[in-house]
Amino acid sequence: MLQVIGIIAFVFAILFSIAWHELGHLIPAKKFGVKVTQYMIGFGPSLWSRKKGDTEYGIKAIPFGGYIRMIGMFPPGPDGKVKASSTGRLTAMIEDARSQAQEEVLTPEDEKRTFYRLSVPKKVTVMMGGPVMNLILAFILFTIVLVGFGTPSTSLTVSEVTACTPSISNGTVTTGCVNGAPASPAAAAGLKPGDVLTSFNGTPMGSWDQFSQAIRQSPAGPATIGLIRNGQPMTVTADIQVVDRPVVVDGQPTKEIAPQGFLGMSPDIVLVRQPLSAVPAQMWDLSIRTAQALVAIPAKLVGVAQAAFGGEERDPNGPIGVVGVTRISGDVAAAEVPANFKVVQFLGMVASLNLFLFLFNLIPLLPLDGGHVAGALWEGMRRQIAKFRHRPDPGPVDVAKALPLAYAVAFILIGMSALLLYADVVNPVKIG
């Protein structure tokens, strides 16, 4: 039941993010006098719609997308008219798009309200409005997570004591009390969940990472551990063992194995609130990593295809489609963790989605918003060059000429989405 609730909640979060994005286009377009005929959430047949003023507002059957429709997105031909389509495929594609852009320009008043007549700054504002709204929503959600709830951090409170000393065979760590494995040093010393660690061999410990590093660097033999149990300070002696263990780098275990000290316990995870000043830094770091992931998507898709059709394990750091992310949201909702941790993970996923939408739409290719922004900036540059050279205004940039490339990009995006959808169904990314 909780899994279903998590899935439904994330679907609504996606719809809200789309609606929020399109609102970023709608508001400035109407502010600048552009006639907007449609504001739609989704694609395909309409489930519901209502017309208010010039604009039809509605929801369509396929929820993963949306758009606003502005009259005159593409300018007419050089003669000011829309020519009949020619027999050439590319030319026909361009002229058909130009014709569709002009078909709703019914009156001289409509002609004044076309998108292509806007100034360059206004065009950029309209097209950047959507991505910027996603960025704003991401910032709000990250602020709620970091400042309101906090980030998951290890504490010095013992969550679990390992019963037996693990062993490594062929690079695989074997846990549990098998094959007569000896009791872990922590279990033998009588350490218990809820103990708050304070020192190691007389050295005060300020964090779990410090404590864990001290253990790993410790030689075999007895060690004194200071702790607080039920409010009372006490000291226990544990016989540290040196065993083969994965090397930890930046808090994450690697595939490298080396002899290290072992005690046998895990920390409690708590939420630590962050100051408001930490939000921009966190978002910048995530933006860099998201941009790097975007660049790596073509190469990563090879691994997705191998996992989908060859049965190989999915890379948890590889691209995930909408279905996969929605499924993970359901798994998060069903996980046996405190409710505040679920909220943090859910809001973090929605925030990351909006940050991704912001960066993805900045790619300067049609049909993405960045393609229209690039066209507007090129238009402004042409006009400034013409003004500097005392030549006539060259007029609006004919973005319609880039439509063949736009269709190619759209075809690639559809293919990528289809691959991720199939992979997310037959071989989904697993968490935990």
In which residue are the tokens 């690697």 written?
254
Instruction: Give the other-Cβ count within 10 Å of 1's Cβ.
Output: 7
Q: Are residues 215 and 289 in the same domain?
A: no
CA gap 211, 199 in Å, rounded: 8
CA gap 309, 317 in Å, rounded: 19
Catalytic hit among 22, 56, 104, 336: 22
CA gap 212, 162 in Å, rounded: 14
Q: Report DSSP letters for 293-359, one per residue.
A: HHHHHHHHHHHHHHHHHH-PPPPTTS---HHHHHHHHHHHHHSSS-HHHHHHHHHHHHHHHHHHHHH
Asked which of 228, 249, 272 is the last residue of a domain, the reply is: 272
Tokens representing 141 are: 């959600």
Task: Note the pLDDT of residue 174.
Answer: 59
174 bridge partner residues: 167
Q: Are residues 138 and 281 in the same domain?
A: yes
CA gap 212, 87 in Å, rounded: 72
pLDDT in tens, 97-131: 555 555 565 567 777 888 888 888 999 999 999 99
CATH of the domain at 226: 2.30.42.10
Q: Are residues 211 and 160 in the same domain?
A: yes
Q: Which residues contact 316 (CB under 8 A, 6 or more apart)?
A: 429, 430, 431
Tokens representing 408 are: 């190619």
Q: Quick one: average pLDDT of 269-289? A: 91
Asked which of 272, 298, 314 is the last residue of a domain, the reply is: 272
pLDDT in tens, 354-395: 999 999 999 888 778 888 898 888 888 988 888 888 888 887
CA gap 195, 231 in Å, rounded: 9
Q: Are residues 283 and 325 in the same domain?
A: yes
Task: Note the pLDDT of residue 84.
Answer: 38
Asked which of 272, 287, 312 is the last residue of a domain, the reply is: 272
Q: 107 in a domain, yes or no?
A: no
Active site residue 22: yes
pLDDT in tens, 128-152: 999 999 999 999 999 999 999 998 8
Q: 171 in a domain, yes or no?
A: yes
CA gap 271, 155 in Å, rounded: 9
The tally of domains found in the chain comes to: 2
Q: 85 in a domain, yes or no?
A: no
Q: Are residues 389 and 295 in the same domain?
A: yes
CA gap 424, 318 in Å, rounded: 12
Q: Which residues contact 2 (CB under 8 A, 6 or more apart)?
A: 330, 333, 334
Q: Are residues 222 and 249 in the same domain?
A: yes
Q: Are residues 227 and 370 in the same domain?
A: no
Q: 167 in a domain, yes or no?
A: yes
Q: Are residues 256 and 352 in the same domain?
A: no
**Arithmetic mean of pLDDT over the chain:** 82
CA gap 415, 74 in Å, rounded: 27
pTM for this one? 0.81
Q: What is the phi/psi pair of residue 188, to 5°?
A: -65, -30
Q: Are residues 171 and 143 in the same domain?
A: no
Residue 31 clears pLDDT 70, i.e. is over it: yes
Q: Are residues 302 and 390 in the same domain?
A: yes
Q: Are residues 248 and 301 in the same domain?
A: no
Q: Are residues 430 and 364 in the same domain?
A: yes
CA gap 37, 52 in Å, rounded: 10
Domain that holds residue 191: 153-272
